[in-house]
Amino acid sequence: MGYRHLDCACDYGNEAEVGEGIQAAIEGGLVKREELWITSKLWNTYHRAEHVRPACLRTLLDLRVDYLDLYLVHFPISLAYVAPENRYPPGWIYDTQAAEPRMRLDPVPLHETWRAMEQLVEEGLVRNLGVCNFNSPLILDLVSYAEIQPAMLQVEMHPLLAQARLLRLCLDLGLAVTAFSSLGAPSYVELGMASSKDSLLRHPMVSVIADNHGRTQAQVLLRWGTQRGTIVIPKSSRPERLRENLESQNFTLADDEMAALNELDRHRRFNDPGQFCEEAFGKFLPIFD
């Protein structure tokens, strides 16, 4: 359909399968490697300098490529190392066989992790570096010492969590911004982290705007994201939705419609370690407060 951006991560547990698809597409003549933008992410258990390169090499092996276009720090959370031969992907829990399985922190300065990632660029294994789930102070700290400046922030953004000041800061600093969960709650409802009443797809204002343009609610939300200057990466396993998502770029929202969507901001974060880490992994760990 024309998609060329693959947003991957060690933690998703499917990079080997994605790699099979990439190899089949290249060998079948559908695309060339240089026509793809492949992103992956360094997991929390690999923040120590000696673990960064092996983690990247495992991702490259699984994805069956020689380099990544973008490598991101998945969270500003450093956890105790779990060897790949013991469990891969390692997930959040240190010892899954313990009487009380829980996270185990292993604090590592971001400076150490970032320098090891810069070496990946110097070696030609990675083209660009970035971060996920970082707030403004962390970004300002990072850009103060980074020899290779971050190129991307990937963070949750949708009309209920517009993060206008964070977006403005990134654009001022020259960081591109990728918005995940651009449709808001849907993917979190199935995980029990949101309820159907949180869905922006059912919001009356979104529906009115969609009707005005003869579009779907999802297309309106995606267009809001790109029209304010972010990249959007909606997940879908249905071909018709994939087409619909691409077609979200074929119209423009009026200024008053953008303003109305901006006013929906309630600072409602669905992907919040300050909530799910304690509930699921036995450790209270807020990173946005």
Bridge partner residues of 71 (DSSP):
40, 129
Pairing state between β 70-73 and 37-42 = parallel
Does 12 participate in catalysis according to the annotation? yes
Q: Is the CB of residue 36 less than 8 Å from the CB of residue 66? A: no
Query: How buried is 12 (Cβ within 10 angstroms: 0-12 exposed, 13-18 middle, 19+ buried)?
Result: middle
Radius of gyration in angstroms for the set of CA atoms belonging to the chain, rounded to a whole number:
19
Q: Are strands 129-132 and 152-156 parallel, antiparallel or unpaired?
A: parallel
- Find the catalytic residue in 3, 12, 71, 188: 12
Task: Give 131's strand partners.
Answer: 73, 153
Sheet of 176-180: strands edge to edge?
5-7, 37-42, 70-73, 129-132, 152-156, 176-180, 231-232
Stated as kind and residue range, the H or E segment containing 20 is helix 15-27
Altogether, the residues listed in the chain come to a count of 289
- Please state, in angstroms and as integers, the Cα–Cα distance from residue 28 to each residue in 23, 108, 160, 223, 257, following that order: 8, 43, 42, 33, 44
Which residue numbers are catalytic?
12
